[in-house]
């Protein structure tokens, strides 16, 4: 059994891993940058070590520093969480070569799935459906134009080494192609260090469905059903849920089998996620494989009752998966909302500063994964996520209602937040009916939200409350924001 784990991450995912370690009786060692001194994960861990300056390139992304520290403090394993070095095959190889266990897949599997073109080629070979397009990088504009003509417009240009919505351009006609080709290559080179791009048919208004898989090093594979991740802004997920209300039994069986085949194709082990696009006729196509734990893994944990981080650690310790496929059941419905420090009424501008007031929601079947506490600093250096709210209900309607109630219980002071926008989405008819797709937020919901915000600003009572709030903010040098700013202004201003 692993005795001591270094957690090469920060924030809520570091806290999540620390909790799993404590329950397993494993020593947890946290790393932190100068900007994260005194952060929640450093307090909860058994041991904490300064890893470098605030800039992630000199701290959380410093491969050599992390491995050097791991050796010095004599850890058995490194857990990368997600982001930073979690999918860096070079880092994983360095860990493997050092004799330390990497809690995740092999460097070989990560490298195979890291190139989108190589992954598409591999999936095609193993009968996993892929979107019509190229399986090799496009070398020139003329070559790309030929492929686009064969596939038919609209098409999508994508960075081969891409991810996170970067390095992507939609092209609707031949006249747009050259400019899109050059800009995609530039963005790809800047973001990923490679200008290789490929082309595929654009599936208009698809759903984003992903399947959680887990495998051990003895060749045992399991799926933990699907997550619906179609609520996105700028290709970034905002709200996730499980199960998807769009899938029927037959489609669910087909897509989970395809995910297992994808994992087997790259000889995968530990936790991973296979992502698919699905059209209105429930045809699905391989998008990519995330070779790590996902941000949204808690919704799967709530509907299956399986602790994914615990399983990751046990598998890395040399154990077999602790459950059979028949034992994995979907019970009820779970929804996750990402609470960000951003001002949704001002174009989602990032909000930085100290959390002068912070109260999380609670109650039955309400889970909050957070890496902050009152007094924590939301800095310019890292992702502005404050916390993740995950709620479970017997039905999807129950889960939605519980999530709305829990969002109302948040009180966050010192920085702005996106809670009002999350509530707006959950209360929208398109979400309630499950008719949303990956373009629904930007094509419909954002516009409707802006109209509502503008309308609220025209209300005289709202104006008076805003003036009073501004006066209090200036006199006390602080800002307290409630989740429900349109209902009880006196409570928002702490006149209770």
Residue 12 neighbours by CB under 8 Å, 6+ apart: 369, 370, 371, 372, 385, 387, 388
Sheet holding 411-413, edge to edge: 357-359, 411-413, 480-482
Closest listed residue to residue 429, CA positions, set 452, 403, 448, 410: 448
Per the CB < 8 A criterion, the answer to whether 58 and 51 are in contact is: no
Calculate the alpha carbon distances from 33 to 18, 55, 113, 267 in Å: 17, 8, 30, 35
- Which residues share a beta bridge with 168? 158
Closest listed residue to residue 153, CA positions, set 111, 98, 196, 204: 204
Calculate the alpha carbon distances from 453 to 81, 136, 421, 450 in Å: 37, 46, 10, 5
In this structure, what token pair is assigned to residue 196? Answer: 């290789």
Calculate the alpha carbon distances from 213 to 81, 184, 226, 411 in Å: 16, 31, 9, 36
Per the CB < 8 A criterion, the answer to whether 304 and 328 are in contact is: yes
In this structure, what token pair is assigned to residue 108? Answer: 């070989």
How would you classify the pairing of strands 221-233 and 168-171? unpaired
Per the CB < 8 A criterion, the answer to whether 169 and 157 are in contact is: yes
Q: Which residues are catalytic?
A: 292
Closest listed residue to residue 373, CA positions, set 7, 10, 11: 11
Cis peptide before 154 (omega within 30 of 0): yes
State how far the Cα of 285 lies from the Cα of 287, in Å rounded to an integer.
6
Per the CB < 8 A criterion, the answer to whether 78 and 5 are in contact is: yes
State how far the Cα of 293 lies from the Cα of 364, in Å rounded to an integer.
26
Per the CB < 8 A criterion, the answer to whether 345 and 58 are in contact is: no
Per the CB < 8 A criterion, the answer to whether 364 and 260 are in contact is: no
């Amino acid at each position: 059994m692993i005795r001591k784990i270094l957690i090469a991450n920060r924030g809520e995912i570091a806290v999540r891993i620390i909790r799993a370690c404590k329950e397993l009786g494993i020593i947890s060692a946290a790393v932190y940058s100068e900007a994260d001194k005194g952060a929640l994960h450093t307090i909860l861990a058994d041991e904490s070590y300064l890893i470098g300056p605030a800039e992630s390139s000199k701290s959380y992304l410093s491969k050599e520093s992390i491995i050097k520290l791991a050796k010095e403090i004599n850890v058995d394993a490194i857990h990368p969480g997600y982001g930073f070095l979690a999918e860096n095959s070079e880092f994983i190889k360095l860990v493997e070569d050092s004799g330390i266990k990497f809690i995740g897949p092999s460097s070989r599997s990560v490298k195979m799935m890291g190139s989108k073109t190589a992954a598409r080629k591999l999936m095609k070979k193993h009968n996993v459906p892929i979107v019509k397009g190229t399986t090799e990088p496009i070398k020139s504009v003329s070559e790309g134009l030929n492929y686009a003509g064969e596939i038919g417009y609209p098409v999508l240009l994508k960075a081969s080494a891409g991810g996170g919505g970067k390095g992507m351009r939609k092209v609707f006609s031949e006249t747009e192609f050259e400019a899109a080709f050059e800009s995609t290559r530039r963005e790809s080179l800047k973001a990923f260090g490679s200008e290789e791009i490929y082309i595929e048919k654009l599936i208009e208004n698809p759903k984003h469905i992903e399947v959680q898989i887990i495998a051990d090093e003895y060749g045992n594979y399991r799926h933990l059903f699907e997550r619906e991740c179609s609520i996105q802004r700028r290709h970034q997920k905002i709200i996730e849920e499980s199960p998807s209300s769009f899938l029927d039994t037959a489609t669910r069986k087909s897509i989970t089998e395809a995910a297992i085949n994808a994992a087997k194709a790259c000889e995968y082990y530990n936790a991973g996620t296979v992502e698919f696009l699905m059209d209105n006729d429930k045809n699905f196509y391989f998008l990519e494989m995330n070779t790590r734990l996902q941000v949204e893994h808690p919704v799967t944990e709530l509907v299956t009752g399986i602790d994914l981080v615990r399983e990751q650690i046990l598998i890395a310790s040399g154990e077999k998966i602790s459950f059979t496929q028949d034992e994995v059941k979907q019970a009820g419905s779970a929804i996750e909302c990402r609470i960000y420090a951003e001002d949704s009424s001002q174009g989602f501008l990032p909000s930085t500063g100290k959390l002068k007031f912070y109260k999380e929601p609670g109650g039955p079947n309400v889970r909050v994964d957070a890496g902050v506490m009152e007094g924590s600093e939301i800095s310019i250096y890292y992702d502005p996520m404050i916390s993740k709210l995950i709620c479970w209900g017997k039905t999807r309607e129950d889960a939605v209602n519980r999530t709305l109630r829990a969002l109302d219980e948040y009180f966050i002071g010192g920085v702005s937040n996106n809670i009002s926008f999350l509530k707006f989405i959950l209360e929208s008819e398109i979400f309630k009916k499950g008719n949303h797709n990956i373009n629904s937020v930007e094509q419909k919901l954002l516009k409707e939200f802006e109209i509502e915000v503008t309308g609220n600003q025209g209300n005289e009572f709202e104006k008076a409350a805003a003036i009073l709030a501004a006066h209090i903010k200036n006199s006390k040098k602080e800002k307290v924001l409630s989740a429900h700013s349109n209902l009880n202004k006196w409570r928002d201003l702490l006149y209770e």
